[in-house]
Chains A and B, each alone.
Chain A
Amino acid sequence: MKVPRVEIRIEECKGCHLCIAACPKKVLESSGCLNNQGYIYAKYKGDGCIGCGICFYSCPEPGAIKVFKKEN
């Protein structure tokens, strides 16, 4: 799998979209789709993540975002 990249666990996202606003590369966006809980979850555009982790620390949910940084 490509690194760096970000994974958003759809069922843990509550649709606050703080990650979307925080991402410096603007590679996160609203999916426009509802998850099972009824939230419009965020998603990764699939390209352009730099692995900075800013979205991870913007997200109030413990496990909704996982960031894979570049190997040292």
Chain B
Amino acid sequence: MSNILEKPKSFYTDFTRKGSADVITTHYCPGCGHGILHKMIAEAISELGIQDRTVFISPVGCSVFAYYYFDTGNVQVAHGRAPAAGTGVKRALPNSIVISYQGDGDLAAIGTAEIIHSANRGEAMTMFFVNNAIYGMTGGQMAPTSIIGQKTTTSPYGRKAENEGYPIKVSELISQLDAPVYVERVSLADVASRNKARTVVRKAIQNQIDGKGFSFVEVLAACPSGLKKTPLETNEWVKNTLHTIFPLGCYKDETATRTPRFAPAINPTSDQVLTALNLKDDHSDYKASVDKKNFIDQNVKIAGFGGQGVLSAGTTLSVLAMYENLEVSWIPSYGPEMRGGTSNCNVRLSNKRIGSPLVENPNILIAMNGPSLEKFESAVRPGGTIIVNSSIIDAKVSRKDVKTYYVPVTGIATEMGVPAAQGVAALAAYLAATNVIPVEKLEHVVHKSLKRKELADKNIAIIRKVAEYITKGMEDNKKCLTGF
């Protein structure tokens, strides 16, 4: 043990993420409970040696900016969803230590479903619930945990049970469930409570390290600004009032008897993925042709209106890339309409694991209609490629730092009698123009996205026609480097 008590190493040295001139103090008000709890958590992270595998889940509320302070992984999530996002992190990275941190408005109002169900599933996370009986950040509105008679900006005559219900006792609720391992309520209002809180914080985190499962700590804390009292008065109020309504203590502790359970890393093999997608059989006689080692990441955005086969072009490309043993992600974005409306999908192909499936700056844009080109042209990375469906889009690409190919994909597909294949035609144009994956390989997978298998031959004919169009265009037009 060090002989010096100072800022724990799990905090950043300077809080430069604040973006203000002051990088040494937090944004919290004087006397705020968050700062005290942050310090206890940071100290535990440092002393337990888990800083490099901790992922902090910051909520909405005053502690939204936890990522200013904790030098750990961080996901800042939507209001109330910390336990849901934390579940995702923990399941994807079972070796991580997930610390979910929420206030009373976040956890006990908008996020009630998430906390109850994550507790009920017994997710192996550590949950901190800061209960200060008020909405602090938004200016002192009534919280689910505000006490009967408490005057707030939204209960100016005092909270009434008949109108607003009773303060929710979350620790009591959670402790009734079978799955949670450890549930305790502590307070930061006086010296003895804070000493106890430090031990409990550490235990709740240690439980996760030991694979024990869901550990929940409710922390009664002071919000002097929200309660419109001085810091010392607020702590007195917490002690004299909140402690009586939310009794401190351990509500459940099965730490000693639970068998540690460590989820295996979710890392399916390519074979398992192909089997799950029912693609295994077709794959067996497919010969991969991509030089995986030198593969350049493809961040593809395919955009158009619903019914143009935009989404299925994306899945076809994904299947092809899987056959080529590449890492793949596909994520759609579309409106509620089955046809019409705007529709686009993001496809990422890489020789490395893909972190996020989103494509904000594509190096390939396939624009199937005018609005899509208008919307995404400026987002394309310099040096990227744009495939323009010239059957529909009259406009020309104004950028000079991208390669553009004008291909009448709707026209070619329609001419061949399968207008629905325009997405596949656009895909063929992309592959023929870039040779990222040889375009003829598309012929092996095109039937995968077809409901009517008898159209496979026509689709193959369309692919060949588009490929020919591109090759001929390149020969005819020596400006091929800037597209045609």
A66–B30 touching, CB < 8 Å: no
From the candidates B3, B7, B194, name the one contacting A57 in the complex (CB within 8 A): B194
User: B34: which A residues are within 8 A, CB to CB?
Assistant: 60
Residue B92 interfacial (CB < 8 Å): no
Given A37-B22, A39-B30, A66-B5, A57 contacting B35 (CB threshold 8 A):
no
- B195, CB-defined interface residue at 8 Å: yes
Query: Is the pair A58, B191 in contact by a Cβ cutoff of 8 Å?
Result: yes
A66 and B6 within 8 A (CB)? yes
A11 to chain B, nearest CB (A): 6
- Given A66-B5, A66-B6, A67-B5, A57 contacting B232 (CB threshold 8 A): no
B316 on interface, CB distance cutoff 8 Å: no
Residues of A within 8 A of B194 (CB): 57-58
Q: Interface code A21-63, partner B: CB below 8 Å = 1, 0 otherwise?
A: 1101000000000000101000000000000011011111111
Q: How far is the CB of A31 from chain B (nearest CB, A)?
A: 15
User: Bound complex: CA of A56 vs CA of B247, how far in Å?
Assistant: 26
Q: Is B121 an interface residue (CB 8 A)?
A: no
Q: List residues 1-50 of chain B with CB under 8 A from any CB of chain A.
A: 1, 3-8, 11, 22, 24-26, 28-36, 38-40, 42
CA distance A9 to B32 in the complex (A): 18
Q: Which residues of A contact B39 (CB under 8 A)?
A: 57, 59-60, 62
Tell me which residues across on chain B come within 8 A of A39, comparing CB atoms.
Answer: 30
- Give the CA-CA distance A12 to B6 in the complex, in Å: 13
Contacts of A24 in B (CB 8 A): 191
Interface assignment of B69: CB less than 8 Å from any CB of chain A: yes
B318 → chain A closest CB, angstroms = 46
Of all chain A residues, which has the CB nearest B10? A62
Of chain A, the residue at the smallest CB distance from B236 is A21
Report, as a range, how many residues of chain A touch the other chain.
20 to 34
Q: A57-B194, A69-B5 are in contact. Are A62 and B11 (CB under 8 A)?
A: yes
Q: Is the CB of B31 within 8 A of A18?
A: yes
Q: Is there contact, CB below 8 Å, between A18 and B232?
A: yes
Q: How far is the CB of B164 from chain A (nearest CB, A)?
A: 30
B231 within 8 A of A: yes
Q: Which of the residues B1, B4, B8, B36 comes within 8 Å of A60, measured between beta carbons?
A: B36
Within 8 Å CB of A63, what residues of B?
Answer: 6-7, 11, 24
* Cross-chain contact B35 with A67 (CB below 8 angstroms): no
Q: Contact check: which of A11, A56, A57, A69 meets B24 at CB < 8 Å?
A: A11
Point out the residues of chain B lying under 8 angstroms from A14, CB to CB.
25, 29-31
Residue of B3, B32, B40, B232 ringed by the most chain A CB atoms within 10 A:
B3
A62 touches which of B1, B22, B38, B232 (Cβ 8 Å): B38
- In the complex, what distance in Å separates the CA atom of A71 from the CA atom of B7? 19
Known: A57-B39, A59-B36. A22 touches B4 (CB 8 A): no
Q: Which residue of A lies closest to B31 (CB)?
A: A16
**B203 — which chain A residues lie within 8 A by C-beta?**
none
Q: Are B36 and A69 in contact (CB under 8 A)?
A: no
Q: In the complex, are the beta carbons of A12 and B195 less than 8 A apart? A: no
Q: Give min CB distance, B241 to chain A, whole Å.
A: 18
CB distance from B449 to the nearest CB of A (A): 54
Q: How far is the CA of A56 from the CA of B3 in the complex (A)?
A: 13
Whether the Cβ atoms of A60 and B7 lie closer than 8 Å is no
- Can you pick out 7 interface pairs between chain A and chain B where the beta carbons lie within 8 Å of each other? A11-B24, A12-B25, A16-B224, A16-B232, A17-B231, A57-B194, A67-B6
Residues of B within 8 A of A (CB): 1, 3-8, 11, 22, 24-26, 28-36, 38-40, 42, 69, 190-191, 194-195, 198, 224, 231-232, 235
Q: Which 3 A-B pairs have the closest CB atoms?
A: A60-B35, A16-B31, A14-B30
Q: A62-B8, A72-B3 are in contact. List 17 more A-B contacts (CB 8 A).
A: A14-B31, A16-B31, A16-B224, A16-B231, A21-B235, A22-B191, A37-B25, A54-B191, A57-B195, A58-B36, A60-B36, A61-B26, A62-B42, A63-B7, A66-B5, A67-B5, A69-B4
* A binding-site residues for B, Cβ under 8 Å: 3, 9, 11-12, 14-18, 21-22, 24, 37, 39, 53-54, 56-72
